[in-house]
């Protein structure tokens, strides 16, 4: 849900400048300036690229960081900004940088053998998958372990990016500010494109690090120890990992059950994603079940996957969302489905299903596979179905580099179920499977389905994988009750009045109530305090209480909220996919470049930019992008781009106009940095008030930045430009 640190630093104003008059009096030689701009481009690429690498790699290997809302992002941002403030890092930090880099990446790479992958989280207000069971340790010990490891890793992230940010700041100090700002944006855009392409292509972390350290090499040619560390880290991450695959979303591991005598292939496979159990591929063909009726896990899986077809005897056209490796699709084919549309967002999981599933359901001519987000498919398709099956679709805290919201949050909302309901034929049935057991998540799904259909679903506890539950809506809801599974409908109805449904505005399926989880608070509060102290001792915050500096502070805070709001809205319109998020962030950076270029050649008065900025943010608060679904595809893309990109363009005009005349770039950068960190922290308020609060807070922060401009013009003794 957050923007990337180096691009944030650029878009929100992070970058040193010189006095405008001195820049005009002493222009840079053209050849020398081009050389410095190239170095700045590479430095900016490096900072953004490694930010994405760490966010993706860290949340995969040390799972608590997938639940700690954007903490790795704001830690990266703090480090980059602080490094840009001080320029060339202090000699002491430069000496320890190789060790910081080695410890950070080795902790991530070897998190599993170090027992860091599943750290227990304090508090019970957030449902965590795959948590390590350590009941023999006292709660205070678990808390201290969690706090020490998380804060230690965060400190390493900050220290690592101080060095990279210092490289960016050092290069920025050698060029004119506005050309340097534009170059910083372009380098950031190149960094995001490079990592996105690597992720789409399925390259592993060894390739990520190799490319990143290769780009870093020119800046470390005189520091041989750093170069040695870079090489050793690439070698460490390149160790063989059999049957491990990297998709755009997951680290996927495949485990094969041994062969059984008399059967030509394995009867089951076990699939993990990001070190958590995800699903099994099981052979439930009649020939296998008849010959090996007691074989596990097939025997336990059979009743669950057969269940929809005990209620819907003639499935006809079937839609499976969260199709995974193909178990639900195979069940539909076994029961005579006329056609099956299988929707699965992860291309690697689909590929594994095609290659290894014992029944090979994806090879059937009756099956069409759609590698897409479920919500995006709901909006795109015009077909009607006899049966819609939500498989055991769970992202297991899948977090891309662009968002902290879990993918499946938006699949299990009131609006999502309503969209699925519109795809049902008049006598169609909706069937939802989920592994939430007797938790509050089961009650939330029940309440959300009732809100979407107007009737309470029939709910059963299947116990599949120890926590399986199913919900039935539509025609089959009124079928005879299943007697071999405990029905929990009445139990869930009794808790319905106190259960908060999941909606697109409050999509936190795994959050117990409208609250910020304890695990986030116990980290964010000391992190903010330490950040403030660090900035105070680095740039002396006591001298920053001026209207100009507060102006940069509020610009930084407001921009992060504006960016988060844009990504959330576009993801709901087109789906939470890598391509959508990459396009959004790319559009934001392009808007920043466009705004900066315009100010370079024709300065725009800030009041001229503020008015459309407020109008566009306000319009976005009262005109959700979901209304654009009525438009044709091309018009929808264009309209969404305008609604999301134009506020960024006008905020970029405000920043570039203010940045042009700043006299003390280090001071402006320090305040802007603190604003960005605080803005990133404020994103957590969506768990209290829902996503609409992002727009309201952005308006407030931008309004405060405008007030600071007005107060400075009224109170400053300096002559102000006429177009201020």
- Average pLDDT value for residue range 21-40: 60
Pairing of strands 385-390, 424-434: parallel
Quick check: 231 and 210 in contact, CB under 8 A? no
pLDDT: is 622 or 29 the higher one?
622
Q: What are residue 286's phi and psi, to 5 degrees?
A: -55, -35
Neighbours of 399 (CB within 10 A): 28
Checking if the pLDDT of 13 tops 50, the result is no
The single-letter DSSP state of residue 272 is E
pTM of the full structure? 0.87
Q: What are residue 184's phi and psi, to 5 degrees?
A: -60, -40
Q: Report the chain's mean pLDDT, rounded to a whole number.
A: 84
pLDDT band at 535 (very low <50, low <70, confident <90, very high): confident
The answer to which of 34-38, 190-194, 581-585 has the lowest mean pLDDT is 581-585
pLDDT band at 406 (very low <50, low <70, confident <90, very high): low
**Strands laid side by side in the 268-273 sheet:** 244-246, 251-256, 268-273, 276-282
The pLDDT tens digits for 313-344 are 889 999 999 999 999 999 999 999 999 999 99
The pLDDT tens digits for 409-426 are 789 999 999 999 999 999
Checking if the pLDDT of 720 tops 70, the result is no
pLDDT band at 25 (very low <50, low <70, confident <90, very high): very low
What crossing angle do the helices spanning 578-601 and 633-660 adopt, rounded to 10°?
40
The pLDDT tens digits for 123-150 are 777 777 655 444 566 778 888 889 999 9
Residues 6+ apart with CB under 8 A from 402: 1, 2, 4, 567, 578, 581, 582, 584, 585
The pLDDT tens digits for 451-505 are 999 999 999 999 888 889 999 999 999 877 777 889 999 999 998 888 999 999 9
Quick check: 680 and 2 in contact, CB under 8 A? yes
Q: What is the pLDDT of residue 255?
A: 95
The pLDDT tens digits for 385-396 are 999 999 987 655
85-99, 184-198, 340-354: which is most confident:
340-354
Checking if the pLDDT of 22 tops 50, the result is no
Neighbours of 387 (CB within 10 A): 28
Q: What is the pLDDT of residue 94?
A: 82
Residue 185 CA: distances (Å) to CA of 190, 411, 669, 685: 9, 34, 16, 28
Q: What is the pLDDT of residue 89?
A: 67
Specify the 3-state DSSP secondary structure of 394: coil
Among residues 318, 333, 200, 327, which one has the least CA distance to residue 271?
A: 327
For the stretch 241-278, what's the b/e string if a residue is b when 16 or more beta carbons lie within 10 angstroms of its beta carbon? eeeebbbbbbbbbbeebeeeeeeeebbbbbbbbbbbeb
Q: Is the peptide bond before 297 cis (omega within 30 degrees of 0)?
A: yes
What crossing angle do the helices spanning 606-622 and 633-660 adopt, rounded to 10°?
140
The single-letter DSSP state of residue 463 is -
Alpha helices in 602-632 (DSSP H): 606-622
pLDDT band at 653 (very low <50, low <70, confident <90, very high): very high
d(CA 63, CA 68): 9
- How many residues in total does the chain contain? 724
Quick check: 532 and 541 in contact, CB under 8 A? yes
Neighbours of 540 (CB within 10 A): 11
* Percent share of the chain, pLDDT over 70: 85
The answer to which of 87-96, 188-197, 642-651 has the lowest mean pLDDT is 87-96
pLDDT band at 11 (very low <50, low <70, confident <90, very high): very low
The pLDDT tens digits for 71-86 are 888 899 889 888 877 7
Cα angle 583, 588, 590 (rounded to 5 degrees) comes to 90
Partners of 429 in the beta sheet?
387, 474
The answer to which of 200-214, 602-616, 662-676 has the lowest mean pLDDT is 662-676
Region at 434 (left for phi over 0; alpha for psi -120 to 50; beta for the rest) = beta
Residue 618: CA count within 13 A, CB half-sphere: 9
Q: Rg (Cα) of the chain, in Å, rounded?
A: 27
Domains and CATH numbers, the chain: 5-242+510-715 (1.20.1250), 300-394+414-498 (3.40.50.150)
Neighbours of 181 (CB within 10 A): 33
Q: What is the pLDDT of residue 35?
A: 84
- Average pLDDT value for residue range 595-605: 87
Residue at token pair 């808390």: 143
Specify the 3-state DSSP secondary structure of 342: strand
Tokens of 326: 């193909």
The pLDDT tens digits for 216-269 are 999 999 899 999 999 999 999 998 888 999 998 889 999 999 888 888 889 999
* Percent share of the chain, pLDDT over 90: 44
Among residues 452, 467, 459, which one has the least CA distance to residue 494?
A: 459
The pLDDT tens digits for 304-320 are 999 999 999 889 999 99
Residues 6+ apart with CB under 8 A from 364: 333, 340
pLDDT band at 614 (very low <50, low <70, confident <90, very high): very high
Quick check: 257 and 269 in contact, CB under 8 A? yes
Q: What is the pLDDT of residue 541?
A: 63
Specify the 3-state DSSP secondary structure of 256: strand
The pLDDT tens digits for 67-123 are 886 888 889 988 988 887 777 666 778 889 999 999 999 999 999 999 999 888 887
């Amino acid at each position: 849900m957050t923007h990337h640190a180096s691009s944030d630093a650029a878009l929100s104003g992070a970058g040193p400048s010189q006095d405008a008059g001195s820049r005009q009096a002493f222009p840079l030689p053209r050849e020398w300036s081009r050389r410095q701009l190239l170095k700045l481009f590479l430095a900016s690429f490096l900072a953004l690229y490694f930010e994405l690498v760490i966010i993706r790699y860290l949340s995969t290997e040390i799972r608590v960081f997938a639940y700690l809302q954007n903490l790795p992002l704001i830690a990266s941002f703090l480090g980059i900004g602080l490094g840009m403030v001080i320029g060339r890092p202090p000699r002491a930090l430069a000496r320890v940088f190789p060790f910081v880099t080695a410890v950070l990446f080795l902790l991530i790479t070897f998190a599993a053998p170090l027992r860091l992958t599943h750290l227990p989280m304090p508090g019970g207000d957030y449902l965590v998958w795959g948590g390590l069971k350590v009941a023999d340790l006292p709660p205070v010990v678990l808390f201290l372990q969690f706090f020490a490891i998380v804060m230690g890793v965060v400190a390493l992230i900050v220290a690592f990016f101080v060095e990279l940010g210092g490289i960016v700041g050092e290069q920025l100090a050698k060029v004119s500010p506005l050309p340097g700002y534009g170059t910083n944006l372009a380098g950031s855009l190149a960094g995001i494109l490079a990592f996105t392409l690597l992720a789409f292509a399925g390259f592993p972390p060894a390739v990520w690090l190799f490319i990143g350290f290769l780009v870093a090499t020119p800046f470390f040619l005189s520091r041989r120890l750093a170069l040695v560390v870079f090489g050793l880290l690439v070698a460490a991450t390149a160790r063989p990992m059999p049957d491990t695959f990297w998709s755009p979303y997951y680290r996927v591991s495949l485990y094969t059950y041994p062969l059984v005598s008399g059967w030509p292939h394995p009867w089951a496979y076990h699939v993990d994603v990001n070190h958590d159990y995800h699903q099994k591929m099981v052979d439930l063909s009649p020939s296998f079940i008849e010959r090996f009726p007691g074989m596990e896990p097939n025997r336990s899986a059979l009743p669950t996957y057969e269940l929809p077809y005990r209620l819907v005897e003639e499935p006809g056209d079937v839609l499976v969302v969260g199709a995974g490796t193909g178990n639900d699709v195979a069940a539909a084919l076994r029961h005579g489905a006329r056609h099956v549309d299988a929707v699965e967002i992860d291309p690697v999981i689909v590929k594994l299903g095609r290659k290894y599933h014992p029944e090979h359901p994806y090879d059937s001519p009756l099956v069409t596979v759609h590698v897409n987000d479920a919500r995006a498919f709901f909006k795109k398709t015009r077909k009607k179905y006899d049966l819609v099956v939500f498989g055991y679709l769970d992202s297991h805290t899948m977090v891309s580099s662009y968002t902290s919201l879990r993918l499946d949050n938006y699949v299990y909302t009131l609006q999502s179920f309503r969209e699925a309901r519109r795809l049902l034929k008049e006598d169609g049935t909706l069937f939802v499977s989920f592994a939430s057991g007797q938790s509050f998540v089961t009650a939330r799904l029940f309440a959300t389905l009732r809100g979407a259909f107007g009737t309470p679903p029939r709910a059963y506890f299947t116990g599949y994988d120890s926590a399986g539950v199913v919900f039935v809506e539509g025609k089959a809801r009124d079928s005879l009750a299943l007697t071999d599974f405990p029905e929990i409908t009445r139990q869930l109805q009794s808790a319905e009045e106190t259960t908060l449904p999941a909606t697109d505005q409050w999509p936190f399926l795994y959050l117990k109530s409208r609250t910020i989880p304890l695990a986030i608070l116990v980290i964010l509060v000391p992190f903010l305090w330490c950040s403030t102290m660090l900035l105070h001792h680095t740039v002396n915050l006591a001298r920053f209480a001026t209207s100009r500096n507060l102006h940069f502070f509020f610009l930084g805070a407001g921009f992060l909220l504006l960016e988060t709001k844009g990504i959330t809205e576009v993801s709901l319109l087109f789906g939470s996919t890598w391509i959508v998020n990459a396009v959004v962030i790319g559009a934001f950076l392009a808007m920043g470049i466009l705004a900066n270029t315009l100010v370079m050649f024709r300065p725009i008065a800030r009041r001229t930019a503020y008015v459309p900025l407020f109008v566009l943010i306000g319009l976005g608060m009262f005109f959700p992008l979901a209304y654009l679904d009525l438009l044709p595809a091309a018009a929808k893309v264009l309209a969404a781009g305008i609604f999301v990109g134009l506020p960024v363009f006008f905020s970029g005009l405000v920043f570039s106009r203010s940045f042009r005349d700043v006299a003390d770039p280090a001071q402006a950068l320090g305040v802007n940095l603190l604003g960005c960190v605080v803005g990133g922290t404020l994103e957590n308020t969506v768990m209290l008030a829902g996503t609409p609060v992002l727009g309201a807070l952005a308006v407030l922060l931008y309004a405060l930045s405008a007030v600071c401009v007005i107060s400075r013009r009224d109170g400053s003794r300096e002559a102000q430009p006429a177009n201020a």
